Structure 1
Amino acid sequence: MNAAPHPRPASGLPGRRGLLGGLLAGAALAAVPALAAPARAEAGPSPSPAAPAGPRATRPLLLGTYTSEGGGGTGIGTAAYDTGTGAITPGPVITGVENPSYLAAHPSGATVYAVAEQAAGAVTAVAIGPDGTYEVLGSRATGGSGPTHLSVHPSGRWLLSANYTSGSIAVHPIAGDGSLGERTDLVVHSSPPPGPGQGGPHAHQVVTSPDGGHVLAVDLGTDTVYTYRLDTSAGALTEVSRAALAPGSGPRHLAFHPGGRFAYLACELDDTMVVCAYDPTTGALTPGPGQSTGTGSGTSYPAQPVVTGDGAYVYLANRGHNSLTRYAVEGGGAALRLLDTVPVGGDWPRQLALSPDGSLLFAANQRSSTVTAFAVGPDGSLTGAGTPFPAPVAVCVLPLP
């Protein structure tokens, strides 16, 4: 796609998707071994040797990629992960989905949604049956270019997507069967002016606040987080507040504390983490000062924070540093204390996800085409679990309940 790249120094660091060095030639994305795929599914590699006997549980893991990249995937991959060891086993691919670089699950667990990150942006719905079968339910245009993130409103009735290249937010209705209707709204970030070095607005994330009262859109190009109210009858967004970040900071992704009064925002261009206060009544987000990612000199292009279910720890993916930063949450969510960084075990960690029970953390490593898993200790410490799992141009990992 012809997405405008993020500004990068003259050193040749990659743009929007990054360099795809170290790809596994001919590798295929993986899927849940129990998944009964229709004829159009592609056969995946042979499963790994059986784990030692004993009580075990495996859960599904979905994988996002770029299908348009050389050495990339061919659709949405799925896999099974061992809840005890973190080991991942492969299977076939859900085909018929273009550039599924970000994935999100419906609260019911019966449907998964994927962006189609390309010039003519789209979102796709995929139904997953109770017996493990799946069906691609169709796609809808987002009205923008290069969608890079999407999320489901807690009501389960609306899909929100962020068009990175065109800097806009789209809303689609979700039918009872999980399929998508025609877009009901499109909001373009026309102001404030783009930040230093940015060619325009670049909406990078759209999420709903924990209380369900507001929708927040993080725009890397305008150094702004926009807050909207969603009319849940009409599927229309109304802006109610804006939070300005430091010029040139490049806010990328935020994650809320489960208490709902604070959020943690990764700024990829100035290499900082920002603690933000959130007012559930007004929707106002108030950013604090940027703080260290613990990666030393150089730019680590932080990608995404995630918060543990108990709100005690925050993890941050650092792409340039190929590490994960661990913070302790203090003051009921109002402060972060840097604890340490650990190697991610791959190259260019684009996205992180905690397992539903919080015992494992997964990292999608774009350049090394791998997914790495970590066991989460009682003190929030991270210990490598299993071996890196090969997944072509892995840019998203979604563990399912």
Structure 2
Amino acid sequence: MKQLLYLSLVTLFVAACSNPSAIQMPQETQTYSFLVGTYTDTVDQGINFLKFNPEENLFEVQLLAPDVQNPSYVIASKNSKLVFALEESAGVSGGDVLSFNLNLAKDSLELIAKQSSYGNHPCYLALSPDESLLTVGNYSGGNLSIYSVQEDGNFTYLQTVQHEGKSVNEARQEGPHVHSTVFNPKGDRLLVADLGTDKIYNYKVSGNEAEPLSLLAEFPVTPGDGPRHMKFSEDGESVFVVQEMSATLEIYSFMEDKLELKQRLSLLDEGFTGQVGAAEVRLSSDGKNVYVSNRGEANTISVFSKNESGEFERIQNISSGGVMPRNFIVTKDGKYLLAAHQSSNDIVVFERNPETGELTITDWKVTLNKPVYLFQLTD
């Protein structure tokens, strides 16, 4: 009897190997996890956690950390164990910068430390590539601060750098407004976009804790542009800059500490005359596509593709699927783009064509109060 059972199992195994479709192996499904920064109206709002699994038709959001005031920018360490956020507020010593322990098993955040940003309305955070330094850009304060970061998530204040000056738009550029602080891939340079002065600043990053940042150069942009967010190419030799007030994407080479303009590309369709507010820029992981959001009366996402000559050209302008797409993110595998809408209080999902980079909106949508930043966590 045992011999007969053994032969039957062998026969079944051989048959299955000759016909692989006979065995249906369970397929692992991909769950994407994100931190969501928001603007808050009540104490029971704050930092959120978003899960998206297209195979299981799962798209849900839950509150991780209530009673955090206007955590409009939230990032995490490479291992997703530490989270850094800001409170976009004003006070005697500015807003605040916070660090947390993230427990994905319990979907919880535990506060580690909280310090002043030393400038009003902090709006941007960046970790150096080795995660030893943290910078914050203070919009209303017109300055940036830098901290040293310990392995346990505590951080120590090192320096604040104050910008001076103004530009041509009296309503928006009456003084400096630091909007982003971006490390190059090597971590030895920090580029700072200042909407108020119409300049991009290049700082040297050193190991000198008394003065970790020292200014190397200032690069003026077209008056009235209002530089906002930036992204480096993977090799650090190109910089993609969103000009908020003119709704343009500018592409610079960055060699030997010099920014040289290579391309200036409009986000606007021909004949558009409404209000604009270009916001975020993202690159696909293969470097072939650049994506930029535009708010105001446009509410679009522009898709740029690299052509055979190595230059970028706009191939698509698509509705963002909501109102005021302040921020969006392309998933690390390049399959999806998620757009967060501050005014329509929702996040929507687009499918991304891996060949062209073009976007197609889906039916996935989740509602929450004023989502304004998305950060994808490590799986």
TM-score, length of structure 2 as denominator length: 0.85
1:103-142 matches, cutoff 5 A: 103-119=74-90, 120-129=94-103, 131-132=105-106, 133-142=108-117
1:58 & 1:316 partners in 2: Cα distance? 25
Residues 306 and 243 (structure 1 numbering): CA distance in 2 closer, same or farther, change over 3 Å? same
Question: What's the counterpart of residue 56 of structure 1?
Answer: 29
Q: Tell me the CA shift for residue 92 of structure 1.
A: 3.3
1:179 & 1:84 partners in 2: Cα distance? 38
Q: Deviations over 1:230-281 (max 9, x none)?
A: 12341620011221100111111112222321111111111211111111xx
Q: Deviations over 1:197-253 (max 9, x none)?
A: 211000000010123221010000000010101123416200112211001111111
Q: Which amino acid aligns with 1:80?
A: K
Is 1:380 paired with 2:357? yes
Asked whether the 8 Å contact 1:355–1:400 carries over to 2, the reply is no
1:75 & 1:203 partners in 2: Cα distance? 23
Question: What's the counterpart of residue 155 of structure 2?
Answer: 180
Asked whether the 8 Å contact 2:32–2:52 carries over to 1, the reply is yes
Is 1:354 paired with 2:327? no
| Aligned counterpart in structure 1 of residue 258 of structure 2, from 276, 284, 291 | 284
1:11-30 matches, cutoff 5 A: none
Is 1:75 paired with 2:52? no
Residues 384 and 232 (structure 1 numbering): CA distance in 2 closer, same or farther, change over 3 Å? farther
Residues 184 and 289 (structure 1 numbering): CA distance in 2 closer, same or farther, change over 3 Å? same
Question: What's the counterpart of residue 169 of structure 2?
Answer: 196
- How many corresponding residue pairs? 342
Question: What's the counterpart of residue 395 of structure 1?
Answer: 372
Q: Which amino acid aligns with 1:184?
A: L
1:295 & 1:78 partners in 2: Cα distance? 35
SS at match of 2:321: coil
Asked whether the 8 Å contact 2:316–2:358 carries over to 1, the reply is no
Residues 332 and 171 (structure 1 numbering): CA distance in 2 closer, same or farther, change over 3 Å? farther
2:118 & 2:144 partners in 1: Cα distance? 9
Residues 330 and 73 (structure 1 numbering): CA distance in 2 closer, same or farther, change over 3 Å? farther
Residues 170 and 397 (structure 1 numbering): CA distance in 2 closer, same or farther, change over 3 Å? same
Question: What's the counterpart of residue 38 of structure 2?
Answer: 65
Identity among equivalent pairs (%): 26
Residue range with higher mean Cα deviation, 205-214 or 341-350: 205-214
1:2-401 matches, cutoff 5 A: 55-67=28-40, 69=41, 74-82=45-53, 84=55, 87-119=58-90, 120-129=94-103, 131-132=105-106, 133-181=108-156, 183-191=157-165, 193-197=166-170, 198-234=173-209, 236-279=212-255, 282-288=256-262, 290-296=264-270, 297-298=272-273, 299-320=275-296, 321-330=298-307, 335-378=311-354, 379-401=356-378
Residues 200 and 374 (structure 1 numbering): CA distance in 2 closer, same or farther, change over 3 Å? same
RMSD: 2.1
Residues 239 and 339 (structure 1 numbering): CA distance in 2 closer, same or farther, change over 3 Å? same
Q: Tell me the CA shift for residue 186 of structure 1.
A: 0.4
Q: Tell me the CA shift for residue 361 of structure 1.
A: 1.2
Bigger Rg over Cα: 2
Q: Which amino acid aligns with 1:64?
A: G
1:178 & 1:148 partners in 2: Cα distance? 20
1:73 & 1:306 partners in 2: Cα distance? 31
Q: Tell me the CA shift for residue 86 of structure 1.
A: 7.7
Higher helix share: 2
1:295 & 1:368 partners in 2: Cα distance? 23
2:288 & 2:358 partners in 1: Cα distance? 11
Higher strand share: 2
Residues 236 and 323 (structure 1 numbering): CA distance in 2 closer, same or farther, change over 3 Å? same
Q: Which amino acid aligns with 1:373?
A: V
1:338 & 1:82 partners in 2: Cα distance? 30
1:310 & 1:357 partners in 2: Cα distance? 10
Q: Deviations over 1:57-114 (max 9, x none)?
A: 32321111112x37x9711011211165784213333124221001111223211111
Residues 83 and 208 (structure 1 numbering): CA distance in 2 closer, same or farther, change over 3 Å? farther
2:349 & 2:32 partners in 1: Cα distance? 14
Asked whether the 8 Å contact 1:107–1:154 carries over to 2, the reply is no
Q: Which amino acid aligns with 1:324?
A: I
Residues 362 and 130 (structure 1 numbering): CA distance in 2 closer, same or farther, change over 3 Å? closer
Q: Which amino acid aligns with 1:56?
A: T
Q: Tell me the CA shift for residue 175 of structure 1.
A: 1.1
Q: Deviations over 1:315-367 (max 9, x none)?
A: 1101121111000124786x321101111111000012122222221111000
1:85 & 1:355 partners in 2: Cα distance? 17
Residues 265 and 387 (structure 1 numbering): CA distance in 2 closer, same or farther, change over 3 Å? same
Q: Deviations over 1:24-57 (max 9, x none)?
A: xxxxxxxxxxxxxxxxxxxxxxxxxxxxx96423
Q: Deviations over 1:146-194 (max 9, x none)?
A: 000111111111111100001111101111111222x201001114x33
Asked whether the 8 Å contact 1:86–1:386 carries over to 2, the reply is no
Asked whether the 8 Å contact 1:356–1:400 carries over to 2, the reply is no
Residue range with higher mean Cα deviation, 295-304 or 171-180: 295-304
Residues 73 and 386 (structure 1 numbering): CA distance in 2 closer, same or farther, change over 3 Å? farther
Q: Which amino acid aligns with 1:100?
A: P
